[in-house]
Structure 1
Amino acid sequence: MDFFNNHKQLFTAAFLLFAVLTLFVCIIPAFNNEQNNAPLPNAIPLDEQAILGKAVFIANGCVACHTQQVRNVDMDKVWGSRPSIAADYADIHRTDTWRNTATLMGTERTGPDLTNIGLRQPSIDWHLVHLYNPRIVVKESIMPAYPFLFEVKNKLEEGDVVVNVPDEFRNGRKGKIIAGAEALQLVAYLKALKQTKLPDGTPEPDFLYKKPGDLGSAKKGEPKELNGAMLYTNNCQSCHQGNGEGLKGAFPALKGSKIVLDDNPELMVDIIMNGYSARENEGYGAMPAVGTNSKLKPEEIAAIMNHEKTSWGNNAKKVTTEQVKELMEVVKVKASK
């Protein structure tokens, strides 16, 4: 038993034991993971502006409130088309030798998850207004405002990006509100956050713990009608607002809109599926293809349209799921030409 009484032998043996365990439990598996790790084939790396924007995101503590991980539970379905997988983070690298800000998955979701924000909300106009003061577009938001990322000019210069801020949110600032370099970089980063499509033939992971839920109501013997108000809130309200009045100079109103009230729903379906930029000359930002980006089904689009056609004093003819399904094919063909 001299071994246990000889401190040199005892500590040497303990050191060698832990060294061997570290080698086989930590180091070798880590090297193996490095070799067996690759981004998805269609993944697009961040460009220079987005990389700078990531630094702005970190500097302003955005990771404290926003996650970038779609969990495989049904309640996360609103944040992405599928649960996140390891390959989504494979092409993220250290900032530099001293700073490891590789993944910004976060640990708390005080604000919405941002994994797929580039597809959910691709409008640069919305992001800039939201950064200037989140209450402009989301009345109940508790997110801090970042007016210091913007400047005020009386005379515009080439390349200036004007942000249409309503008067009540200007806090006395007169002149044109211009997005600063860091604001544009941060928006570039947010717009780059998109879930990559899995390779053809690869099954998508399932969302777990699905609950049937009461999405709508219907008379006995009739198919259940989806909750158009809920779908509108999830897909449209951030721009067009809960009252349908939009934001003056930024997002057009749906209340009293000729397009919404038109008995021919083709243009409305076209806008939802393919986006709309015909009013940019009036100062409105281009609308993204919400229906296509969010992979909305015909019955979901019909529910949204009917909500818009019958809310805020609108009293237009409702559409059916079959109508929408047919028109989706029509506008798809038009968009491809």
Structure 2
Amino acid sequence: MELFDNHRKLFGTAALFFIVLTTLVAIMPAINNQENNAALPDAVPLSEDAIRGKALFVSNGCVGCHTQQVRNVDMDKVWGARPSLAADYADIHRTDFWRNTATLMGTERTGPDLTDIGTRQPGKEWHLVHLYNPRTVVRESIMPAYPWLFTIKKEPSASDIVVNVPAEYLNGQEGKVVATKDAMYLVAYLQSLKQVKLPDGETSPAFLYKREEKKTGDNAAGAMPDGQALFAANCQSCHQANGEGLQGAFPPLKGSSVVLGDNLEMYVDIIMNGYDARPEFGSMPAVGTNAGFTELEVAALINYERSSWGNDGKKVTPEEVKKIIDFLKLKVTK
């Protein structure tokens, strides 16, 4: 055949087939997706600082270990309130003409998923300490430290953002750890990563393959959850396993007047709705609300904190906690 003897016709035909197939298989479906998927109504575009932070997130290799996708399987419920949707990524644009790196969904979870990290950790203090040295807040962490995002100053200025790093992690350096602009850009990006609520009336996709726990013996009678496990999963990264927190960053629970006091309403309110009225400490997220705690989990957590690290506080019952949770909900609706 002449086609196979004429290299111009042969390669021209192959190129034509490639262009047609690329148009049908890749380009047209992509255009169709763009036209049929839009960002959710309450989605907030990235700020200029967050855009710079996203570039740092990519350049420092964070994309290699962290995903940004909550799959629709039950094991992913810890990362977000609902499975991710196409609309969550609809308003994400190319970095520039030459580079895409728009959606950073990732393929590997060496580290936790970051889809909703801005909700789980809204304050900048935790992120800065964590970036300087992850072992400061999570001793078992295998994440690399990013000290080049910070400088050491013996006398920081009033405008400097000082990071309260324990002396044992300063490697003998004298002075205060100060966050650079790059560190703040990266934190701005991490704080922006929040799952947007679906519009009223929209049904969230269900999490699949839920693992049913066999209820026998004490469990069948409604035994209390494991308070220590709840603390480790939701509180330990800030307040530390020894309950002593981090000076200047996260308050101690050991000997705390809130933990050992009689104002149970305030205690439950802090767990459920967070707290941000202490200038010397970072803001606490609404851990209980974000995690969907019931009165059983809150009571178990309180009883663990009141009986650990030398604390000797009064135990509470789920019934006491439920009354307060219902009251707090009522206050919000008024």
Q: With the length of structure 1 as denominator, give the TM-score of the two structures.
A: 0.90
Q: Which residue of 1 aligns with 2:80?
A: 80
Question: Where does structure 1 lack aligned partners over 5 or more consecutive residues?
Answer: none
Q: Which residue of 1 aligns with 2:121?
A: 121
Residues 152 and 200 of structure 1, relative CA distance in 2, 3 Å threshold: same
C-alpha RMSD of the superposition: 2.4
**Does the aligned pair in 1 maintain the 2:78–2:291 contact within 8 Å?**
no
1:116 shift after superposition: 0.4
- The DSSP-based 3-state class of the residue aligned with 1:72 is coil
- The DSSP-based 3-state class of the residue aligned with 2:178 is strand
Q: With the length of structure 2 as denominator, give the TM-score of the two structures.
A: 0.91
**Does the aligned pair in 1 maintain the 2:72–2:206 contact within 8 Å?**
yes
Identity %: 61
Residues 328 and 57 of structure 1, relative CA distance in 2, 3 Å threshold: same
Q: Which residue of 2 aligns with 1:301?
A: 298
- The DSSP-based 3-state class of the residue aligned with 2:162 is coil
- The DSSP-based 3-state class of the residue aligned with 1:52 is helix
1:15 shift after superposition: 5.7
1:87 shift after superposition: 1.0
Alignment partners' CA distance in 1, 2:19 and 2:154 = 66
- Mapping of residues 1-337 of structure 1, within 5 Å: 19-213=19-213, 219=218, 222-280=221-279, 283-332=280-329
Alignment partners' CA distance in 2, 1:181 and 1:4 = 61
1:146 shift after superposition: 1.0
Alignment partners' CA distance in 2, 1:330 and 1:153 = 48
Alignment partners' CA distance in 2, 1:220 and 1:63 = 41
Alignment partners' CA distance in 2, 1:287 and 1:139 = 20
Q: Partner letter of residue 90 of structure 2? A: A
1:17 shift after superposition: 5.2
Alignment partners' CA distance in 2, 1:10 and 1:18 = 12
1:176 shift after superposition: 2.0
**Does the aligned pair in 1 maintain the 2:34–2:90 contact within 8 Å?**
no
1:39 shift after superposition: 0.9
Alignment partners' CA distance in 1, 2:4 and 2:273 = 79
1:249 shift after superposition: 2.4
1:9 shift after superposition: 7.4
1:4 shift after superposition: 7.5
User: Does 162-171 or 20-29 show the bigger shift?
Assistant: 20-29
Alignment partners' CA distance in 1, 2:77 and 2:44 = 23
**Does the aligned pair in 2 maintain the 1:260–1:268 contact within 8 Å?**
yes
1:313 shift after superposition: 2.4
- The DSSP-based 3-state class of the residue aligned with 2:151 is strand
Show CA shifts across 1:18-72 (max 9, x none). Answer: 5544443333322222211211111111101111111111111011111111111
Q: Partner letter of residue 283 of structure 2? A: A
Residues 336 and 30 of structure 1, relative CA distance in 2, 3 Å threshold: closer
Question: Where does structure 2 lack aligned partners over 5 or more consecutive residues?
Answer: none
Alignment partners' CA distance in 1, 2:59 and 2:263 = 49
Alignment partners' CA distance in 1, 2:159 and 2:278 = 20
1:97 shift after superposition: 0.7
Q: Partner letter of residue 219 of structure 1? A: D
- The DSSP-based 3-state class of the residue aligned with 1:78 is coil
Alignment partners' CA distance in 2, 1:269 and 1:157 = 38
Alignment partners' CA distance in 1, 2:99 and 2:4 = 45
- The DSSP-based 3-state class of the residue aligned with 1:232 is helix
**Does the aligned pair in 2 maintain the 1:217–1:226 contact within 8 Å?**
no
Residues 20 and 304 of structure 1, relative CA distance in 2, 3 Å threshold: same
**Does the aligned pair in 2 maintain the 1:73–1:207 contact within 8 Å?**
yes
Residues 213 and 311 of structure 1, relative CA distance in 2, 3 Å threshold: farther
Alignment partners' CA distance in 1, 2:189 and 2:254 = 33
**Does the aligned pair in 2 maintain the 1:217–1:225 contact within 8 Å?**
no
Q: Partner letter of residue 222 of structure 2? A: P
User: Does 223-232 or 63-72 show the bigger shift?
Assistant: 223-232
Residues 241 and 98 of structure 1, relative CA distance in 2, 3 Å threshold: same
